[in-house]
């Protein structure tokens, strides 16, 4: 006879635990909190019940989430987790991974549906976002007037720029009718009270608390606002539809104040830096212009303009002489060829040869005329270019524009260091003017 296996209690409980965990995948469970104990270790122990039964549950490390949602006895909740067994006592229980009030799941689905709809319409597109002004003179705030959000906002504004104009539009930030009030506030500032930037803000809370900022009426109002809108709703981990539609989303009301107004000291430093850079650049530009003036005033063209004009005139005369010589040489060659042909024709008795040579003579005369005309055109073009350059360098052309040339004892005056009483001659376009120096000043 084979010996029968005798089980230990812990073995049975262990097998039961494995059976439970392997038979049920994680799932959502709805119930009412029957008992609740938040241990100092951070674990939450509770029972969930309905009209017929109850089940023990444990939420390891869930104290913060339970406190944030104000979990209490009698509250209807939805928990996500799996069945397991506590082997020490031989009890099965529900191991919670997350917990939420009943109805949050429906709100989350509604949130995702509206988010997908508005995103498909392009309301979240970065291209439609308006820039936030660097230093607005007037800020519009839509919030609950007695909330902590507006107190934090005003505290930072007053500390940085106490003279900034703040206009507050009071609204409910949660509950029935809150979304409509928020939308009316956006419309009020756009139609009746222009400001440089709008801030929509409230403190943190559950998804139900923040739901007013997830309503479509608020999203449409923000999207159509011509005034840039900053959304500062909830805490850093909270996101609303308003955040996606607004021109800028910041995590907290305090962050909105810091971003919209900037640091006073930072602005003063930037202005001072810009002023110094401008003064330095102007000084550098002035030095460059002064050096250019000195270089140009001391150049050969201004000291001896007539010499450069004579050079261009001489070059023009040489080109003209070469043109005339080329025309004369072409004429001599043409006459020589003509005489040669005439002599050759005189020695021929054949009428056919005569006609042939006459035709050849006609072609040569035509080619000669064409060549002479082309040569004349080239020289004429060169002549006009030189004439243009000559006119541009002609000092009298400068005088025609209202300038004059000062001279003293036959030399051009290039410096203001001239003794008082000195007699000067000012050459203008139609003559000269005698001047006497009564005073001079140097830079």
pLDDT at 129: 92
Residue 19: CATH number of its domain: 2.40.50.140
Residue 115: CATH number of its domain: 3.40.50.261
What confidence tier does 130 reach under pLDDT thresholds 50, 70, 90?
very high
User: Are residues 425 and 435 both part of a single domain?
Assistant: yes
User: Are residues 399 and 388 both part of a single domain?
Assistant: no
Mean pLDDT of 337-346: 68
User: Are residues 59 and 122 both part of a single domain?
Assistant: no
pLDDT at 442: 62
User: Are residues 92 and 112 both part of a single domain?
Assistant: no
Mean pLDDT of 326-348: 70
Residues 6+ apart with CB under 8 A from 159: none
What confidence tier does 394 reach under pLDDT thresholds 50, 70, 90?
low
Tell me if 144 is assigned to some domain.
Answer: yes
CA dihedral angle for residue 88, residue 89, residue 91, residue 92, rounded to 10 degrees: -20
Tell me if 196 is assigned to some domain.
Answer: yes
Say what percent of the chain tops pLDDT 90.
Answer: 22
Phi, psi (deg, nearest 5) at residue 408? -140, 115
User: Are residues 135 and 251 both part of a single domain?
Assistant: yes
pLDDT over threshold 70, residue 260 = no
Tell me if 268 is assigned to some domain.
Answer: no
DSSP string, 312-344: HHHHHHHHHHHHHHHHHHHHHHHHHHHHHHHHH
User: Are residues 314 and 422 both part of a single domain?
Assistant: no
pLDDT at 425: 83
Tell me if 293 is assigned to some domain.
Answer: no
Tell me if 336 is assigned to some domain.
Answer: yes
User: Are residues 243 and 122 both part of a single domain?
Assistant: yes
- Which of residues 56 and 75 earns the better pLDDT score? 56
Which domain, by its residues, includes 310?
300-393
- Cα–Cα separations (whole angstroms), residue 38 to 34, 42, 45, 80, 198: 13, 7, 6, 18, 42
pLDDT over threshold 60, residue 349 = no
pLDDT digits (tens, 9 = 90+) for 191-201: 999 999 999 98
- Count how many domains the chain has: 4
What confidence tier does 296 reach under pLDDT thresholds 50, 70, 90?
low
Domain boundary among 236, 262, 288: 262
- How buried is 319 (Cβ within 10 angstroms: 0-12 exposed, 13-18 middle, 19+ buried)? middle
User: Are residues 121 and 50 both part of a single domain?
Assistant: no
Asked if 207 contacts 104 with a C-beta cutoff of 8 angstroms, the reply is yes
User: Are residues 95 and 201 both part of a single domain?
Assistant: no
Asked if 56 contacts 47 with a C-beta cutoff of 8 angstroms, the reply is yes
pLDDT at 127: 92
pLDDT digits (tens, 9 = 90+) for 136-190: 888 899 988 888 788 877 877 777 777 778 898 999 988 889 999 999 999 999 9
pLDDT digits (tens, 9 = 90+) for 200-254: 988 877 778 888 999 999 999 999 999 999 988 877 777 889 999 999 888 777 7
pLDDT at 81: 93
How far is it, in rounded angstroms, from Cα 409 to Cα 413?
10
Q: Which residues share a beta bridge with 56?
A: 47
How far is it, in rounded angstroms, from Cα 247 to Cα 123?
10
Tell me if 58 is assigned to some domain.
Answer: yes
Domain boundary among 69, 85, 102: 102
Mean pLDDT of 110-137: 88
pLDDT digits (tens, 9 = 90+) for 310-334: 666 677 777 777 777 777 777 777 7
Choice among 28-42, 66-80, 410-424 with the minimum mean pLDDT = 410-424
pLDDT digits (tens, 9 = 90+) for 21-68: 888 889 999 899 999 999 999 999 999 998 899 999 999 999 998 888
Tell me if 290 is assigned to some domain.
Answer: no
User: Are residues 114 and 229 both part of a single domain?
Assistant: yes
User: Are residues 229 and 114 both part of a single domain?
Assistant: yes
pLDDT over threshold 60, residue 263 = no
User: Are residues 97 and 111 both part of a single domain?
Assistant: no
The pLDDT mean for the chain works out to: 81
Sequence length of the chain is 443
Tell me if 288 is assigned to some domain.
Answer: no
Asked if 271 contacts 156 with a C-beta cutoff of 8 angstroms, the reply is no
Asked if 13 contacts 85 with a C-beta cutoff of 8 angstroms, the reply is yes
pLDDT at 186: 95
pLDDT at 351: 59
């Amino acid at each position: 006879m084979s010996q029968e296996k005798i089980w230990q209690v812990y073995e049975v409980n262990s097998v039961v635990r494995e059976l439970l965990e392997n038979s049920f995948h994680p799932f959502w469970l709805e119930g009412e909190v029957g008992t609740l104990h938040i241990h100092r270790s951070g674990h939450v122990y509770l029972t969930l019940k309905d009209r017929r039964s109850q089940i023990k549950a444990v939420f390891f490390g869930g104290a913060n989430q339970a406190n944030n949602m104000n979990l209490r006895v009698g509250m209807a909740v939805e928990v996500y987790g799996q069945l397991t067994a506590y082997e020490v006592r031989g009890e099965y229980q529900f191991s919670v991974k997350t917990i939420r009030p009943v109805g949050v799941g429906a709100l989350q689905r509604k949130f995702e549906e509206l988010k997908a709809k508005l995103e498909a319409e392009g309301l979240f597109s970065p291209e439609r976002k308006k820039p936030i002004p660097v230093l607005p003179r007037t800020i519009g705030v839509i919030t609950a007037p007695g909330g902590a959000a507006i107190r934090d906002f005003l505290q930072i504004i007053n500390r940085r720029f106490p003279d900034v104009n703040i206009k507050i539009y009071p609204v409910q930030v949660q509950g029935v009718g809150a979304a409509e009030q928020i939308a009316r506030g956006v419309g009020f500032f756009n139609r009746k009270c222009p400001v440089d930037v709008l801030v929509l803000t409230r403190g943190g809370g559950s998804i139900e608390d923040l739901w007013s900022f997830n309503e479509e009426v608020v999203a449409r109002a923000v999207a159509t606002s011509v005034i840039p809108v900053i959304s500062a709703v909830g805490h850093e981990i909270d996101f609303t539809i308003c955040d996606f539609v607004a021109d800028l989303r910041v995590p907290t009301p305090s962050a909105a104040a810091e971003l919209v107004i900037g640091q006073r000291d930072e602005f003063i430093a930037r202005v001072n830096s810009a002023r110094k850079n401008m003064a330095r650049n102007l000084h550098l530009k002035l030095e460059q212009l002064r050096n250019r003036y000195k270089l140009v005033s001391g150049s050969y063209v201004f000291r001896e303009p007539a010499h450069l004009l004579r050079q261009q005139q001489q070059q023009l005369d040489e080109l003209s002489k070469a043109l005339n010589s080329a025309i004369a040489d072409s004429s001599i060659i043409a006459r020589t060829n003509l005489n040669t042909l005439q002599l050759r024709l005189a020695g021929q008795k054949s009428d056919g040869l005569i006609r042939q040579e006459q035709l050849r003579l006609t072609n040569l005369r035509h080619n000669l005329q064409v060549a002479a005309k082309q040569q004349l055109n080239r020289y004429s073009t060169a002549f006009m270019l030189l004439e243009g350059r000559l006119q541009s360098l002609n000092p009298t052309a400068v005088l025609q524009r209202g300038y004059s040339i000062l001279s003293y004892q036959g030399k051009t005056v290039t410096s203001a260091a001239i003794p008082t009483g000195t007699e000067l001659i000012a050459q203008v376009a139609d003559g000269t003017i005698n001047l006497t120096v009564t005073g001079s000043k140097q830079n």
